[in-house]
């Protein structure tokens, strides 16, 4: 990327770098912190020719006239902030991970602002957050408090967003950026990503492809409202401001108090989008996701099979179905609780987490015991942050729900969001999990749902600090999750919010995976998993074989789900003998391919957005085992089917390619090739069949 301005004297250089990426700051002679470079890491000598650049973290109210990163209102009504460099320090947190803290302060009001940048060298990921301390001696109000500001200077900028809706999460669309602002944000409060995932992709100069071009991928680690602002000024310079959405969130900071913003996480690649995604996948597994390098449990879930209409016998039978399938766990979904207000549908009962005696007179014991005999674990669905107005919890504590005084209550899915800013509510939510695990220590897994966004924005706890609610709600959730993680570190959990309504990396510090979408139509899932997979490793993308889209055969459905964290939401008795035999074989194949799919490198060979096919290749980290998933979705008659070129192989090595996972047939040796041939010439694995899929195994000699 180009330097940002002509050379001016610069006293203090600060370089934050990974193996291949560098972000360079310089402190100007007036003490202003400037960003002088962001892009490919260069030799130290080369940085010496850089100019000072532009102010790195701009503030409201003094000289800058574009969107600021920070806006503080002081007690005397002076709303300006001037930040001058104080000092900086660099610490090695662990091998390959270095944190640089740059301390800035206002010389008159003494507000202190630190930028904390952590560089993950081998993964080429940098995280950045700001820490704001009120040293002004009086209360201040934070009106805008970004985590990060990045500056770019390129002839053209292309932005890709990942917006959508329930059932079509992370749909990708791109646009060129021009003078002015483009904002991507959410204001839903909880289930915040239902309409837009907290991701963006920015190509510089020209749209990047999978294998070529300069591209930046960024996300905010925050399970609430976020905002990314892209603003181009009159010089065609771009600033990207990332942080909590300041919408209705002005935050009062008492004297001496500190506000820590969430991490903005980003990477840069000069080799296209595929490399940038692999950077994220590696970082997520190595540093962020709970048990990121651990295994994942395959499962059978009852939601799409029974809904809330089940009894002990049906569930015990499903334990047997799980065993028959060969999966690790049976997951009991919604509908098992509530006695005064039985949870027989979604109209009532949320909040009353006692086992429903009518349906399960012996509690979970018979299901758990059967599971123990069969070697199948037991997992449980909960939704502890929510309440139905028709519940004992709401009868007792109406003020625990987020509702407006003097207004009719507006519910979403007949439910309200509990006010997580209230410590009593936090204790209660913790107690839901704590009590379940105390009463039923064999619960091996939770699916933690969250099916409503915040409506009726008002906290009965926060008093005059109403604008703290969106922020303190998320912080309250983290308090609870911290306590759960500390007491029950080994219980894996699925994050869920009517599908992918929660898909952020901070959530994944507590959850091992997330429910990618309620939409289990395999065709739609190809697109949803493709979008999410730009940031999220397959390991965290829960993908279940279910019934949506009756046109699709079992093999295609299963192959789509095998590209994520595999599960089933199916009545296995609806399959004929051949189908069941196929699925059981597929579960075994999945176990064999896990080192490639869950822990390896993803290469997106053919994008579903480009036509009527999709192909993904996964390679294990040692390069010995690979899997190719090909999908012919709706090819047109007479369409040319070009060879698919593989990636990430050793050109000098030889590889066997087997077609595996065949319906009613054994593995078939497709051919033997050099890595060079596979990458330069490719193989003809696309077909003209509709809704057709194949799985190939790659074995290195």
Positions marked catalytic = 449, 518
Q: How many CB atoms lie within 10 A of CB 97?
A: 19
Burial readout 19-44 (b: 16 or more C-beta within 10 A, e: otherwise): ebbbbbbbbbeebbbbbbbbbebeee
Burial 582-591 (b: 16+ CB within 10 A, else e): bbebbbebbe
Nearer to ligand DGJ, 98 or 301 (CB): 301
Shortest distance (Å) from residue 557 CB to ligand DGJ = 16
Task: Please give the full DSSP string across 36-57, using - where no structure is assigned.
Answer: EEEEE---HHHHTT----EESS
**DSSP SS3 for 348:** coil
What are the distances in angstroms from CA 188 to CA 199, 262, 470, 524? 16, 18, 9, 24
Measured CA to CA, the distance from residue 319 to residue 552 in angstroms comes to 26
- 558 vs 541: CA distance, rounded Å: 14
H/E element holding 313?
A: helix 312-325
Binding site for ligand DGJ (CB under 6 A): 303, 333-334, 381, 449, 451, 496, 498-499, 515, 518
Nearest residue relative to ligand DGJ (C-beta): 334
Whether the Cβ atoms of residue 213 and residue 203 lie closer than 8 Å to each other? yes
When the beta carbons of 333 and 385 are compared against ligand DGJ, the nearer one is: 333
Q: In whole angstroms, how close is the CB of 580 to ligand DGJ at the nearest point? A: 23
Closest CA to 274 of 678, 18, 616: 616
**Choice between 36 and 516, CB closer to ligand DGJ:** 516
Nearest to 269 by CA among 229, 209, 199: 209
Q: Which of 629, 624, 561, 567 shows the shortest CA–CA distance to 595? A: 624
Nearest distance in Å: CB 529, ligand DGJ:
16
Q: Are strands 180-185 and 226-232 parallel, antiparallel or unpaired?
A: antiparallel
- Minimum CB distance to ligand DGJ smaller for 189 or for 499: 499
Q: Is 559 helix (H, G, I), strand (E, B) or coil?
A: helix
- Which residue lies nearer to ligand DGJ by CB, 57 or 381? 381
By C-beta, is 515 or 535 nearer to ligand DGJ?
515
Q: Please, what is the minimum distance in Å from the beta carbon of residue 518 to ligand DGJ?
A: 5
Residues 451 and 346: their CA atoms lie apart, in Å, by 11
CB 582, min distance to ligand DGJ, A: 25
Distance of CA 531 to the CA centre of its chain: 11
Q: What does the block give as tokens for 652? A: 């000098």
| Sequence-distant (≥ 6) Cβ neighbours of residue 629 within 8 angstroms | 559, 560, 562, 563, 615, 616, 617, 618, 693, 694, 695
Please identify, using beta-carbon distances, which residue of 228 and 330 lies nearer to ligand DGJ. 330
Give the pair of three-digit tokens for residue 180.
Answer: 């002015």
Q: Closer CB to ligand DGJ, residue 282 or residue 334? A: 334
Q: How far is the CB of 258 from ligand DGJ (least distance, A)?
A: 37
Residue with tokens 């055969």: 553
Buried b (16+ CB within 10 A) or exposed e, 136-171: beeebbbbbbbbbbbbbbbeebbbbbbbbebbbbbb
Are the beta carbons of 363 and 352 closer than 8 angstroms? no
Q: How many residues comprise the chain?
A: 701
Nearer to ligand DGJ, 450 or 606 (CB): 450
Question: Coil, helix or strand for 184?
Answer: strand
Report the residue number, 106 or 518, with the smaller CB distance to ligand DGJ. Answer: 518
* Helix (H) / strand (E) containing 215: strand 214-220
- Measured CA to CA, the distance from residue 92 to residue 99 in angstroms comes to 6
Smallest distance, Å, CB 323 to ligand DGJ? Answer: 22
The closest alpha carbon to 689, from 616, 615, 639, 629, belongs to 639
Shorter beta-carbon distance to ligand DGJ: residue 177 or 493: 493
| Min CB(695)–ligand DGJ separation in Å | 26
Which residue has tokens 């390896």?
600
Q: Measured from the CB of residue 334, what is the shortest distance to ligand DGJ in angstroms?
A: 4
User: CB of 513: closest distance to ligand DGJ in angstroms?
Assistant: 13
């Amino acid at each position: 990327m180009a330097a940002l301005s002509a050379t001016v004297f610069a006293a203090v250089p600060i370089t934050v770098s990974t193996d291949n990426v560098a972000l360079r700051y310089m402190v100007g002679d007036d003490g202003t912190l400037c960003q002088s470079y962001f892009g490919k890491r260069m030799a130290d000598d080369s940085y010496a020719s850089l100019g000072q650049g532009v102010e790195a973290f701009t503030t409201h109210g003094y000289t800058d006239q574009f969107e600021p990163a920070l806006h503080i209102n002081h007690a005397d009504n002076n709303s300006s902030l001037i930040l001058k460099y104080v000092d900086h320090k660099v610490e090695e947190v662990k091998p390959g991970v270095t944190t640089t803290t740059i301390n800035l302060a206002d010389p008159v009001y003494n507000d202190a602002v630190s930028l904390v940048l952590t560089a993950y060298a081998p993964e080429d990921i940098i995280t950045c957050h700001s820490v704001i301390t009120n040293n002004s001696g009086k209360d201040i109000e934070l009106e805008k408090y970004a985590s990060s500001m990045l500056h770019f200077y390129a002839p053209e900028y292309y932005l890709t967003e990942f917006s959508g809706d329930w059932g079509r999460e992370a749909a990708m669309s791109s646009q060129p950026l021009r003078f002015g602002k483009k904002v991507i944000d959410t204001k839903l409060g909880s289930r915040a990503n239902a309409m837009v995932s907290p991701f963006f992709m920015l190509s510089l100069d020209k749209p990047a492809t999978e294998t070529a071009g300069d591209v930046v991928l960024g996300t905010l680690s925050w399970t609430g409202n976020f905002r990314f602002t892209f603003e181009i000024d009159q010089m065609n310079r771009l600033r990207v401001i990332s942080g909590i959405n300041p919408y209705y969130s002005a935050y009062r900071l008492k004297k001496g108090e500190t506000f820590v913003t969430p991490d903005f996480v980003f990477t840069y690649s000069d080799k296209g989008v595929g490399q940038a995604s692999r950077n994220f996948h590696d970082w997520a597994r190595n540093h962020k996701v709970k048990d990121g390098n651990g295994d994942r449990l395959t499962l059978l879930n009852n939601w799409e099979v029974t809904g809330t209409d089940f009894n002990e016998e049906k569930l015990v039978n499903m334990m047997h179905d799980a065993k028959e399938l060969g999966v690790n766990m049976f997951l009991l979904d919604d509908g098992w609780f509530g006695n005064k207000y039985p949870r027989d549908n979604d109209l009532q009962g949320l909040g009353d987490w006692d086992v429903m005696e009518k349906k399960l007179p012996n509690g979970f014991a018979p299901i758990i015991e059967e599971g123990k005999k069969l070697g199948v674990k037991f997992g449980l669905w909960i939704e502890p942050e929510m309440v139905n107005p028709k519940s004992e919890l709401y009868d007792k504590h109406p003020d625990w729900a987020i509702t407006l005084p003097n207004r009719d209550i507006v519910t979403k899915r007949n439910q309200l969001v509990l006010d997580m800013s209230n410590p009593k509510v936090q204790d209660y939510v913790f107690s839901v999990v704590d009590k379940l695990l105390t009463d039923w220590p064999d619960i091996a897994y939770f699916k933690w749902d969250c099916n409503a966004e915040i409506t009726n924005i008002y906290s009965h706890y926060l008093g005059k600090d109403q604008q703290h609610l969106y922020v303190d709600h998320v912080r309250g959730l983290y308090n609870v999750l911290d306590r759960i993680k500390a007491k029950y570190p080994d219980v894996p959990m699925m994050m869920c919010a009517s599908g992918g309504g929660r898909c952020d990396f901070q959530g994944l510090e507590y959850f091992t995976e997330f429910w990618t979408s309620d939409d289990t139509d395999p065709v739609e899932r190809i697109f949803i998993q493709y979008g999410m997979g730009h940031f999220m490793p397959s390991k965290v993308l829960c993908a279940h074989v279910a019934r949506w889209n009756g046109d699709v055969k079992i093999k295609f459905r299963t192959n789509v789900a095998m590209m994520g964290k595999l599960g089933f939401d199916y009545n296995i008795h609806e399959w004929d003998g051949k189908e069941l035999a196929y699925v059981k074989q597929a579960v075994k194949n999945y176990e064999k391919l896990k080192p490639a799919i869950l822990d390896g490198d993803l290469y997106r060979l053919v994008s579903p957005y480009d036509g009527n096919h999709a192909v993904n290749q996964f390679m294990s980290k040692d390069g010995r085992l690979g899997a190719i998933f090909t999908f012919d979705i709706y090819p047109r008659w007479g369409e040319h089917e070009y060879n698919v070129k593989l990636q990430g192989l050793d050109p000098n090595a030889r590889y066997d390619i087997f077609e595996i996972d065949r319906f009613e047939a054994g593995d078939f040796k497709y051919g033997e090739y050099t890595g060079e041939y596979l990458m330069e010439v490719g193989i003809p694995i696309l077909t003209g069949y509709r809704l057709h899929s194949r799985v190939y195994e790659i074995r290195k000699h």
